[in-house]
Amino acid sequence: MITELRVTPRTVPLPRPWGPDVPVNHVLVVEVVLDDGRTGTGFCWTPRVGAAAVRALLETDVRDALLGPSRTPRWCGTGCGRTCARRAPAA
């Protein structure tokens, strides 16, 4: 069973920039930890924009799908000042 998902962002300079606005690749290293201690590692990358959005997706929706809903409340985003716990859809 998967017990943990870790996402580590890295910025990797390109030996030859792809263009004046693309001197680096933004890499997300993703580690999955199993209950018996084994780990698996993968990565994804983006040359300009999107790394923060992909990281947010991995650390919320993907993690929730693998481990169950987060037990840490998140801000609703409605401006009400309250927090809302995310809940898994009813089966």
Q: Rounded mean pLDDT of the chain? A: 82
Asked if 18 contacts 28 with a C-beta cutoff of 8 angstroms, the reply is no
* Residue range 17-39: mean pLDDT, rounded: 94
Asked if 69 contacts 85 with a C-beta cutoff of 8 angstroms, the reply is yes
Angle at 12 between CA 23 and CA 58, to 5 degrees: 115
pLDDT of residue 1: 87
For the entire predicted model, the pTM comes to 0.69
* Residue range 22-45: mean pLDDT, rounded: 95
Domain 2-84 fold is: Enolase-like; domain 1 (3.30.390)
The percentage of residues in the chain with a pLDDT greater than 70, rounded to a whole number, is 75
On the question of pLDDT at 11 being above 60, the answer is yes
pLDDT of residue 87: 46
Q: What is the rounded distance in angstroms from the CA atom of residue 48 to the CA atom of residue 29?
A: 17
Question: SS3 for 7?
Answer: strand
Q: Where are the domains of the chain?
A: 2-84
